[in-house]
Structure 1
């Protein structure tokens, strides 16, 4: 049947077209609507207004692009996993809740002047500011944003901050609470302790055959051989196409000439300036007075050009550059306000400009140096040009190569060698399960490809999978060579492993009983000697494991000595006696800084609590799909711990 379909595919396509067309005429509109229903489906609601699947997907993509830019080697599976999707939806819900709150509270958008003031003062915006406080348009363009888009985003962000900022910034933290917060980190306790190692008990237990059988029966799934498939696979990607292309010297030189601007270093200028401030909306007499003062300083500067830096230190009103003698370092076009830029780029090194007026006031500029503007030699950029030309040619050829790849793996489905020969690809081999293995990369990390490998056509009939898109400009296809189903291993085959597991559990039980007995003894005999002693704090754990430190610091120390016992991660136990609570060992200034951090954390906690209250007030609800993703994210986080 399958071979018949392949042999008569053209006739079957015509027949299917004849069947589809009448149906589309009758049901076309409804069918089209159903295609858009998925994107418009509600995944959450805030105050009766829905957040759609399309919005959620877009947020996940934006989040992935941002993380990929920050961490290029990040595992791709993490970018679209349950935790990433839950985080993206939470951010959408939080933003929508805060937006609803701003509407309800009738908070007004920021005016231009206040927005400018916040922009120049906000540390998070430092990267977008030039030395004179103006907008760094080059960096903004690199982010794919316009100045209007940035202003709109800032207005929204600052407006949303008002909702929580009033809570976080005004949180009242009692001194006693701040003090307890410091104790959680800095309190020191003198302890005596004995560690009961589980390994010491391992040789004292001897599981019976009945115990081994009972354990095996209760954990059968732990002793199954996993399902596996040995596969061959091929990958078509843009980089592979690039390597197979040849480019002539004439083509490279033509590209160099046509893109000369790209290989010419942008001209930059280094200048000093003296600024006499005058707001653009200031009264005429105020501006006139500022200009007159600037003219006076200009006359002084021209009398003694070598003393320009000293003059700027004494008289410039630019807080960012005055202390450095007005030095603005090197800057390119677009970095400064237009009147300043035009004047600076019209000067020759050593020249001093006339008084220049901008929105900030009146400037006097002295040009220090000029650099850039030179074109790089062809030989210096030849390798870069060749890579760019190859990439462009490969991109143009990609659609054709992708079609050849898809058609060949389908039409010659009993082998991957034909497509490898046609497109000069390498047939690779691997052993895979239904889920990607830890650390898997590329095609072997693709859930779509693994699903196709374990589909009936590939698994049972050993046919090639269809061409699967595993990433941008990346296609893969695979063929199952051998399939090994999951199988139960008999007890006799795994008896040694079972014996080790049962012996370890019994040793843990014996150790726990010994710890309980020792704890009772320590409580009854306050002078009973323990093996070791130490002084510990949360930030000074010494040689003790984290769980032991936390348990000792959590123990009630109002009546000393106090005893406690804690189970360690490997099944061992530690029995400890707290003999003394010691004062903090930090300088007063560090304690004050830490108290400020405690207050800030308290403020953030109150802001988060306020946000949760707003979610209740504005009736946030999640769809079943969103709840399932949240449950999967929680399970994934628990497994990671």
Structure 2
């Protein structure tokens, strides 16, 4: 749900990096219970990113993406490119953090409030008077494993980070001349005639002899490899199964309710009014002194006549948003205000007035007008939720104990998984024809590269021993062993007769098609009147007519110094094509809506280009080093 924050806040940075890196990429890193590397994999402005940091970040992102996209291909998630992209993301965040600090960028309370209001799920929690239902808000965040304070702190941080690149992208603009020049080139159409020489049409001419098949087999042995494979056994210990076996007693549940009664009631909220004398944080000393003197004078008036606070706020406060209401800021909880302001408020008693409080906005005089402590919901109304929470807590504690014992058992009794299966009441599962690399059809845990790496390690294969316990995800351990191993080998010629014949015929047909196509191209260039081509048609990037992309690319790359241009296109196993490019076809006039859309797209692309350039400049400024080779 909270991904909508990014969508509704129009943060260009996110769109930018979705384009830079094929996102939706990150994959879990499985660590056993005994190893952790601390090697430095990247450095930003003297700050080291360690291998362990990278592994943890990769695993967390993978868990999130798997939860959001259960059908995501594990091979894609577990690729070296995916892991590297995680590292680039971590570097990016460090670069932006350094930029925020150096440029003194912060998100104001007003920006935070506006962003929260732009999130539909939060906006829907408003009361009739326009105030936010704090209890419903806390419950909503709690269902996502967050507190209001933590969520708002993270959101404020994201707002600050996005200011670094957002300010650059917002300056992009596009003139009509630039848009027309770019769009006309991008969507240029060319009139052509095409003659295809399809490889399939030549298959009947291919009658391979035994000697030809043997020569092809010997020259292309890599096409006839059977990868190494193994038959395996494995055990899985997971938190869900542990939780299912736990029963929570009535006494335990009531004790748990009493211990958490304050938390269940929700956070205390305080209502204040304030008078602000505005002065910038970096203002000259004389200006600060002048503002402070005015604030002290106002504070003296408040001390003399506390009941006149509201009237004084209306006429003297520089916070025009609250001045009209006598300085009233309404109720708020922890994390809603800047820290010096919040610290002062929560140190006050009801009805009291603070001393001067200095923040980035200036000097505040604060009056605490009310304190709201919500009552906890009844035990009966919370029973189901409490039971689930308590069961989960007990399960996590029990899983931690079992995980340690499970890890020790499979390690100390490496000759078999049976002892662990018996001790922990786990089903010993088996699988045949397991490959070293994750297969598209494989199910967990046999699609996990770390577990497969453990299964096919030299120690496990040579000693015929158990793997160490491997953590696939939080709350999920697996251990396995290889019952039978079959190394990689080249299949004998008699085992691949059908495949051999198909591959040879396919390759030879493509050769024949290409040879005839090249002969025709040479003859037709010399004598254009003899050419036998298809009817003229118009092609372009947005008008492919279902023709192969290499053909479209070749047509658009043809020189424009003279017409016609003859082009030969190798289509690989599909054959060959001869194309006569007759010239540039006039592009139809675009309607106003299309032109506006293209202008907007061009402006966005220009902004992205400028933003990427600025990011590269920041990388140089902060001396970014990535010590891992790009895959």
TM-score (norm 2): 0.64
| Pairwise CA distance, 1:594 | 0.4
8 Å contact 2:152–2:336 — kept in the other structure?
no
| Pairwise CA distance, 1:443 | 2.5
Task: Determine the structure 1 residue equivalent to 2:616.
Answer: 612
Equivalent residue in structure 2 for 1:574, among 572, 577, 581: 577
Task: Determine the structure 2 residue equivalent to 1:91.
Answer: 89
8 Å contact 1:557–1:581 — kept in the other structure?
no
- In the TM superposition, 1:28-107 aligns within 5 A as 39=38, 41-45=39-43, 51-53=49-51, 55-57=53-55, 59-61=57-59, 63-64=61-62, 66-68=64-66, 70-71=68-69, 74=72, 81-95=79-93, 107=103
Report how many aligned residue pairs link the two structures: 515
In the alignment, structure 1 residue 531 sits paired with structure 2 residue 529: no
In the alignment, structure 1 residue 544 sits paired with structure 2 residue 547: yes
Look up the SS of the partner of 2:597 in the other structure: helix
- List runs of 5+ in structure 2 lacking aligned partners: 1-33, 268-273, 279-293, 299-307, 316-320, 323-329, 338-363, 365-374
Task: Determine the structure 2 residue equivalent to 1:553.
Answer: 556
Equivalent residue in structure 1 for 2:489, among 487, 490, 495: 487
Task: Determine the structure 2 residue equivalent to 1:445.
Answer: 447
- In the TM superposition, 1:340-489 aligns within 5 A as 382=384, 387-410=388-411, 413-431=414-432, 432-455=434-457, 458-489=460-491
8 Å contact 1:236–1:425 — kept in the other structure?
yes
In the alignment, structure 1 residue 584 sits paired with structure 2 residue 588: yes
Look up the SS of the partner of 2:477 in the other structure: strand
- List runs of 5+ in structure 1 lacking aligned partners: 1-34, 267-277, 293-316, 319-330, 339-358, 360-371, 632-641
Look up the SS of the partner of 1:196 in the other structure: strand
Give a deviation string over 1:267-304, Cα, whole Å, max 9, x none: xxxxxxxxxxx99669999x969979xxxxxxxxxxxx
In the alignment, the residues of structure 2 paired with residue 531 and residue 70 of structure 1 have an alpha-carbon distance, to the nearest angstrom, of 49
In the alignment, the residues of structure 1 paired with residue 463 and residue 161 of structure 2 have an alpha-carbon distance, to the nearest angstrom, of 57
Task: Determine the structure 1 residue equivalent to 2:193.
Answer: 192
8 Å contact 1:120–1:133 — kept in the other structure?
no
Moved more, 144-153 or 486-495: 144-153
In the alignment, the residues of structure 1 paired with residue 41 and residue 199 of structure 2 have an alpha-carbon distance, to the nearest angstrom, of 49
Task: Determine the structure 2 residue equivalent to 1:23.
Answer: none
In the alignment, the residues of structure 1 paired with residue 460 and residue 35 of structure 2 have an alpha-carbon distance, to the nearest angstrom, of 32
Give a deviation string over 1:181-222, Cα, whole Å, max 9, x none: 213554344443233221111221233444333332233233
Look up the SS of the partner of 1:442 in the other structure: coil
Equivalent residue in structure 1 for 2:164, among 160, 164, 175: 160
Distance 1:443 1:92, change over 3 A: closer
Look up the SS of the partner of 1:425 in the other structure: coil
| Pairwise CA distance, 1:259 | 6.8
In the alignment, the residues of structure 1 paired with residue 497 and residue 185 of structure 2 have an alpha-carbon distance, to the nearest angstrom, of 48
8 Å contact 1:44–1:50 — kept in the other structure?
yes
Give a deviation string over 1:518-538, Cα, whole Å, max 9, x none: 434554426845335544442
Give a deviation string over 1:111-152, Cα, whole Å, max 9, x none: x7xx34555677997569757799997477755554783476
Task: Determine the structure 2 residue equivalent to 1:564.
Answer: 567
More helix by percentage: 1
| Pairwise CA distance, 1:587 | 0.9
Look up the SS of the partner of 2:517 in the other structure: helix
In the alignment, the residues of structure 2 paired with residue 475 and residue 600 of structure 1 have an alpha-carbon distance, to the nearest angstrom, of 46
In the alignment, the residues of structure 1 paired with residue 179 and residue 535 of structure 2 have an alpha-carbon distance, to the nearest angstrom, of 33
Look up the SS of the partner of 2:574 in the other structure: coil
| Pairwise CA distance, 1:390 | 3.9
Task: Determine the structure 2 residue equivalent to 1:504.
Answer: 506
In the alignment, the residues of structure 1 paired with residue 397 and residue 99 of structure 2 have an alpha-carbon distance, to the nearest angstrom, of 50
In the alignment, the residues of structure 2 paired with residue 279 and residue 67 of structure 1 have an alpha-carbon distance, to the nearest angstrom, of 46
- In the TM superposition, 1:8-27 aligns within 5 A as none
Task: Determine the structure 2 residue equivalent to 1:348.
Answer: none
In the alignment, the residues of structure 2 paired with residue 482 and residue 439 of structure 1 have an alpha-carbon distance, to the nearest angstrom, of 21
In the alignment, the residues of structure 2 paired with residue 100 and residue 545 of structure 1 have an alpha-carbon distance, to the nearest angstrom, of 47
In the alignment, the residues of structure 2 paired with residue 482 and residue 38 of structure 1 have an alpha-carbon distance, to the nearest angstrom, of 32
8 Å contact 2:202–2:509 — kept in the other structure?
yes
- In the TM superposition, 1:325-344 aligns within 5 A as none
In the alignment, the residues of structure 2 paired with residue 49 and residue 247 of structure 1 have an alpha-carbon distance, to the nearest angstrom, of 47
Distance 1:133 1:64, change over 3 A: farther
| Pairwise CA distance, 1:462 | 3.8
8 Å contact 1:205–1:506 — kept in the other structure?
yes
Computed over aligned residues only, the root mean square deviation of the Cα atoms, in angstroms, reads 5.3
Look up the SS of the partner of 1:438 in the other structure: coil
8 Å contact 2:109–2:336 — kept in the other structure?
no
Distance 1:89 1:457, change over 3 A: closer
In the alignment, the residues of structure 1 paired with residue 564 and residue 115 of structure 2 have an alpha-carbon distance, to the nearest angstrom, of 52
In the alignment, the residues of structure 2 paired with residue 251 and residue 213 of structure 1 have an alpha-carbon distance, to the nearest angstrom, of 76
Distance 1:279 1:36, change over 3 A: farther
In the alignment, the residues of structure 2 paired with residue 332 and residue 70 of structure 1 have an alpha-carbon distance, to the nearest angstrom, of 35
Equivalent residue in structure 1 for 2:606, among 575, 590, 602: 602
In the alignment, the residues of structure 1 paired with residue 612 and residue 182 of structure 2 have an alpha-carbon distance, to the nearest angstrom, of 18
Distance 1:517 1:506, change over 3 A: same
In the alignment, structure 1 residue 517 sits paired with structure 2 residue 515: no
Give a deviation string over 1:297-318, Cα, whole Å, max 9, x none: xxxxxxxxxxxxxxxxxxxx99
In the alignment, the residues of structure 2 paired with residue 108 and residue 257 of structure 1 have an alpha-carbon distance, to the nearest angstrom, of 45
In the alignment, the residues of structure 2 paired with residue 172 and residue 386 of structure 1 have an alpha-carbon distance, to the nearest angstrom, of 57
8 Å contact 1:190–1:582 — kept in the other structure?
no
| Pairwise CA distance, 1:425 | 1.6
8 Å contact 1:409–1:416 — kept in the other structure?
yes
Task: Determine the structure 1 residue equivalent to 2:239.
Answer: 238
In the alignment, the residues of structure 2 paired with residue 408 and residue 52 of structure 1 have an alpha-carbon distance, to the nearest angstrom, of 31
Give a deviation string over 1:374-398, Cα, whole Å, max 9, x none: 86967x975x666544433332322
Look up the SS of the partner of 1:553 in the other structure: helix
Moved more, 54-63 or 253-262: 253-262
8 Å contact 1:43–1:50 — kept in the other structure?
yes
In the alignment, the residues of structure 2 paired with residue 51 and residue 124 of structure 1 have an alpha-carbon distance, to the nearest angstrom, of 35
| Pairwise CA distance, 1:76 | 6.0
| Pairwise CA distance, 1:405 | 3.0
Distance 1:38 1:117, change over 3 A: same
In the alignment, the residues of structure 1 paired with residue 544 and residue 64 of structure 2 have an alpha-carbon distance, to the nearest angstrom, of 37
Look up the SS of the partner of 1:437 in the other structure: coil
Give a deviation string over 1:591-625, Cα, whole Å, max 9, x none: 132023113212322332344355456654443xx
| Pairwise CA distance, 1:484 | 1.8
In the alignment, the residues of structure 2 paired with residue 180 and residue 123 of structure 1 have an alpha-carbon distance, to the nearest angstrom, of 41
In the alignment, the residues of structure 2 paired with residue 242 and residue 194 of structure 1 have an alpha-carbon distance, to the nearest angstrom, of 67
